[in-house]
Structure 1
Amino acid sequence: MAESTSGPGSTIPLRVREFFLARQPILDRNQALVAYELLFRNAEAGPARITSDLSATASVIAHASQLGMEKVIGDSVGYVNVDAAVLMSDIFKFLPREKVVLEIVETMKVTPQILARVEQLVADGFRFALDDVITDTEDVQKLLPLVEVIKFDLRDMPLSALLKLTPRFKSANKKLLAEKVENREQFQTCLDLGFDYFQGYYFAKPVILSGKKLSPSQLSIMQLMSQINSDADNAAIERSIKKDVSLCFNLLRLVNTPAVGSPRRIDSVTQALMILGRNQLRRWLQIMLYAEPCKKGHAMTPLLTLATTRGKLLELIAQQVEPRNRGMADTAFTVGIMSLMDTLFSMPMEEILQQVAVVDAVGDALLHRKGVYGELLSLVEQMERIEEAGTMLDDLVARFRLSSEDLCNLQLSAFEWSDSVARYA
């Protein structure tokens, strides 16, 4: 048990792992990943309880030795919600001030004591954001000199109000963050208004372009994946890789990253095939598809991070559910990482599956969220968006007989692995 102090003489008992966790990407104007907002939902409590006990949330994060904050956010910054009880507590000695931005919830009444406490924490080096600002209230004005970031929830903000408020906060030299950005049009509107940061899954939604063709390098990778799926011999696979110098170089660079975990350096395609095996080779080819745009200056890191996290988490859950079935874990990884290829290629998933053959179970999962792999994918998608997840999340957790502690441990492993891949990609 951990305890969270939430006021003079009061403590809140807390089982540290009795929650679901999500990290939601925060992107800059170039759509590069700069931070994550950390969201917690009490296990089996329903979506309405997402931030019902912010003291528990803060306590979980504060006990970094138990959670491992660096595993959750990697090299990024973490945005964390705080309320009056948390602000007046002593948990801040546990928090790495250079790695967090504290989000003051919009419902908090700004008393003289709260104002003094925020001033003290700012003097100590902590940074603050104001969450869900919908109007320029007296409380907002009191806190404005002390905060760096103003957050607007686009679901609750009419465009007329946004047009009125943004110049006011920009003139005060505040960074503006738009959250719940759900489509490219909203992103473009906020970009035009001068917003600095963006939060929401618009970047993961496919924008289908008719007649879109794969680039030559993407086509080479897809053809290689088809060769592996159709059991071509090693010599034929080697020849295909060696035909494309860039593909060969990037594959060898990727398979020598810490995420692969090879005990010795891999210096040739022959070695890569021998040491990795076909399933692992397919995995790294899939990752290369997401990594390739990064090398051309396109900020696709969030998509790479999301896809690799999905793939790894699906694999780890499958291993937990069926520990003796390695094939199930490999297939689950493929489902997770392929689930965003329609966004990556700006093509319907049906067209992608015509170009790279997959087994029926994978196709059913990707197209219809059916079968065991479809349920696994749905589970992970629900966990990414726990704010909106209803009873379906609890049902799927129960379906796979997972505890919230199991899921938390698997998520931390997936986050860590994915961040390692993105760092070297």
Structure 2
Amino acid sequence: MIDLSGTDLSRSVRAREFYLGRQPILDRNGVLFGYELLFRNSPVGPANIDTELSATAAVIAHASQLGVEKVIGDGLGFVNVDEQALHSDIFGFLPREKVVLEIVETLQATPKVLARMADLASQGFQFALDDVRGDSSQLQAMLPMTQFVKLSMRGGDASALASLATRLKGDGKLLVAEKVETREEFGACLDLGFDYFQGYYFAKPVIMSGKKLSPSQLALMELMRLVVSDADNIDIERAIKRDASLAINLLRLVNTPAVGARQRIDSLSQAVTILGRRQLQRWLQIMLYAEPGKRSATQTPLLMLAATRGRLLELLAHKLRPAHRHVADIAFTVGIMSLMDTLFSIPMSELLTQIAVSDEVSEALVYRAGFFGELLKLAECIERIEDMEDAIMPALRELEMTTEELVELEMSAFEWSDNVVRYAI
């Protein structure tokens, strides 16, 4: 067994450069169930890791030291393990009640592997089999210790997939559809009886021609206009009071730990005074994703993604241009607005005719151009790390940022957005 304990681990793993992707896994109602955590090693710089120690094990150990719980919040975290990771000591770092060990498709079901899986299962760990494409002796050998089976929606025969899904459901396994990219694919997987769905189908805009914002959304927009235009506090309070559910939601949100207020905020006048215009605008933007009249579970992943993007862009901007506070504020706005075309089912260019933004925000949202557009592209690459991994390192070099700095900011953004969503819906 590979020993990852002691000072050697601290020295070797800390030197490892990696970055982290987090892909949402949703249930049949569109509610966030968990995340697959995707660790990628930086291809540049010295590894400083003993050659027999797998990169997977080292990176997982490092990420666990930073705090996996911060990354996965209330859900489960699916973590890929190869053979070396399986036989290593990383499991002392992982919270067994929060982690599903995802067996990669290349791992052979040898007696040694099966014995190790049985041992870990007896300790309370759950297993998932990744990218299963057909029945096999390998699948049958691992199935008794497995709770989840992941089937890819890419490149397979539809009838064979349906047959395999039916058989696995009959064995009592929970099925996860991977690489679900469209709502049509999501619907097809629902019909096949899949339990969970991984992919960004929920973040793709479904454009509906002629759609207008709802009265509640228009009220929020008007409120944001008042905040941005430096209207008097009394006028802002009056606008909030016109919509009772808006007032209740705002008071709930501003008392979240993510705001960091030193005292409980009990009234709208307190909220307006204590928060200030910049913070008030931020929470109004977040509330668009948790609209009172439409508060449904399906909004949760979109709200989580938007809040994470907003916070990550804000932290990146603050790191890169620390002397300019307004730059971080603009970056947050770009991140949180980048999914509003999906939220409203309106093309971004049309949406921006209804929401007044600066030219640099518009350029970033429509064309991914300029400084803020570059930050947004980096965030999107991290989200889609499996398909866009090659673009991450060039982007970091362009921004003169290390992978270690990026991971720290990612962890902070994940933790912050998890806190926000808890209070927003």
For 2:2 and 2:313, locate their aligned partners in 1 and report how far apart those are by CA, in whole Å. Answer: 33
Kindly indicate whether residue 133 of structure 2 is the aligned counterpart of residue 134 of structure 1. Answer: yes
**Superposition map of 1:202-351 within 5 A:** 202-292=201-291, 296-351=295-350
Counterpart residue number, 1:75: 74
| RMSD, aligned CA | 2.2
How far has the Cα of 1:276 moved from its partner? 1.1
Indicate how the Cα distance of structure 1 residues 24 and 240 shifts in structure 2: closer, same or farther if over 3 A, else same. same
**Superposition map of 1:44-55 within 5 A:** 44=43, 55=54
Counterpart residue number, 1:33: 32
**Deviation sequence 1:353-381 (CA, Å, 0-9, x none):** 11110011001100110111111101111
For 1:137 and 1:204, locate their aligned partners in 2 and report how far apart those are by CA, in whole Å. Answer: 35
Counterpart residue number, 1:49: none
Contact conserved, 2:81 with 2:102, CA < 8 A, in 1? Answer: yes
Which residue type is aligned with residue 226 of structure 1?
A: R
Indicate how the Cα distance of structure 1 residues 5 and 115 shifts in structure 2: closer, same or farther if over 3 A, else same. same
Which residue type is aligned with residue 94 of structure 1?
A: F
Kindly indicate whether residue 407 of structure 2 is the aligned counterpart of residue 398 of structure 1. Answer: no
Counterpart residue number, 1:50: none
**Deviation sequence 1:40-86 (CA, Å, 0-9, x none):** 111246xxxxxxx9933333333566311111111111101111111
Contact conserved, 2:133 with 2:156, CA < 8 A, in 1? Answer: yes
**Any gaps of 5 or more consecutive residues in structure 1?**
46-52
Counterpart residue number, 2:356: 357
**Deviation sequence 1:295-348 (CA, Å, 0-9, x none):** 633421111111000000000000000101000000000000000001111111
Indicate how the Cα distance of structure 1 residues 323 and 250 shifts in structure 2: closer, same or farther if over 3 A, else same. same
Report the 3-state secondary structure (helix = DSSP H, G, I; strand = E; otherwise coil) of the residue aligned with 2:289.
helix
For 1:297 and 1:314, locate their aligned partners in 2 and report how far apart those are by CA, in whole Å. Answer: 26
**Superposition map of 1:372-387 within 5 A:** 372-387=371-386
Indicate how the Cα distance of structure 1 residues 146 and 54 shifts in structure 2: closer, same or farther if over 3 A, else same. farther
Contact conserved, 1:38 with 1:78, CA < 8 A, in 2? Answer: yes
Contact conserved, 1:259 with 1:417, CA < 8 A, in 2? Answer: yes
Deviates more, 1:63-72 or 1:88-97: 63-72
Indicate how the Cα distance of structure 1 residues 100 and 293 shifts in structure 2: closer, same or farther if over 3 A, else same. farther
Contact conserved, 1:227 with 1:237, CA < 8 A, in 2? Answer: yes
**Superposition map of 1:161-200 within 5 A:** 161-200=160-199
For 1:399 and 1:371, locate their aligned partners in 2 and report how far apart those are by CA, in whole Å. Answer: 13
Counterpart residue number, 1:420: 419
Indicate how the Cα distance of structure 1 residues 199 and 322 shifts in structure 2: closer, same or farther if over 3 A, else same. same
For 2:295 and 2:398, locate their aligned partners in 1 and report how far apart those are by CA, in whole Å. Answer: 42
How far has the Cα of 1:117 moved from its partner? 1.2
For 1:305 and 1:350, locate their aligned partners in 2 and report how far apart those are by CA, in whole Å. Answer: 23
Counterpart residue number, 2:106: 107
**Superposition map of 1:80-99 within 5 A:** 80-99=79-98
Counterpart residue number, 2:55: 56
For 2:303 and 2:96, locate their aligned partners in 1 and report how far apart those are by CA, in whole Å. Answer: 28
How far has the Cα of 1:228 moved from its partner? 2.4
Indicate how the Cα distance of structure 1 residues 88 and 298 shifts in structure 2: closer, same or farther if over 3 A, else same. closer
For 2:193 and 2:250, locate their aligned partners in 1 and report how far apart those are by CA, in whole Å. Answer: 39
Counterpart residue number, 2:145: 146
Report the 3-state secondary structure (helix = DSSP H, G, I; strand = E; otherwise coil) of the residue aligned with 1:291.
coil
How far has the Cα of 1:90 moved from its partner? 2.3
Contact conserved, 1:4 with 1:55, CA < 8 A, in 2? Answer: no
For 1:337 and 1:322, locate their aligned partners in 2 and report how far apart those are by CA, in whole Å. Answer: 19
For 2:185 and 2:317, locate their aligned partners in 1 and report how far apart those are by CA, in whole Å. Answer: 36
Contact conserved, 1:60 with 1:67, CA < 8 A, in 2? Answer: no
Indicate how the Cα distance of structure 1 residues 331 and 13 shifts in structure 2: closer, same or farther if over 3 A, else same. same
Deviates more, 1:197-206 or 1:13-22: 13-22
Contact conserved, 2:14 with 2:62, CA < 8 A, in 1? Answer: no
Indicate how the Cα distance of structure 1 residues 369 and 357 shifts in structure 2: closer, same or farther if over 3 A, else same. same
For 2:215 and 2:345, locate their aligned partners in 1 and report how far apart those are by CA, in whole Å. Answer: 15
How far has the Cα of 1:24 moved from its partner? 0.6
Counterpart residue number, 2:410: 411
Indicate how the Cα distance of structure 1 residues 59 and 148 shifts in structure 2: closer, same or farther if over 3 A, else same. same
Structure 1: 4+ residue segments shifted above 6 A: none
How far has the Cα of 1:214 moved from its partner? 1.8
Contact conserved, 2:41 with 2:59, CA < 8 A, in 1? Answer: no
For 1:64 and 1:400, locate their aligned partners in 2 and report how far apart those are by CA, in whole Å. Answer: 23
Contact conserved, 1:256 with 1:265, CA < 8 A, in 2? Answer: yes
Contact conserved, 1:315 with 1:329, CA < 8 A, in 2? Answer: yes
Indicate how the Cα distance of structure 1 residues 255 and 4 shifts in structure 2: closer, same or farther if over 3 A, else same. farther
Indicate how the Cα distance of structure 1 residues 16 and 128 shifts in structure 2: closer, same or farther if over 3 A, else same. farther
Aligned residues: 414
Contact conserved, 1:17 with 1:408, CA < 8 A, in 2? Answer: no
For 2:358 and 2:422, locate their aligned partners in 1 and report how far apart those are by CA, in whole Å. Answer: 31
* Percent of aligned pairs with the same amino acid: 61
For 1:201 and 1:302, locate their aligned partners in 2 and report how far apart those are by CA, in whole Å. Answer: 10
Which residue type is aligned with residue 75 of structure 1?
A: D
Contact conserved, 2:42 with 2:403, CA < 8 A, in 1? Answer: yes
For 1:81 and 1:159, locate their aligned partners in 2 and report how far apart those are by CA, in whole Å. Answer: 26
Deviates more, 1:153-162 or 1:178-187: 153-162
How far has the Cα of 1:97 moved from its partner? 1.0
Counterpart residue number, 1:158: 157
For 1:229 and 1:252, locate their aligned partners in 2 and report how far apart those are by CA, in whole Å. Answer: 20
Which residue type is aligned with residue 372 of structure 1?
A: F
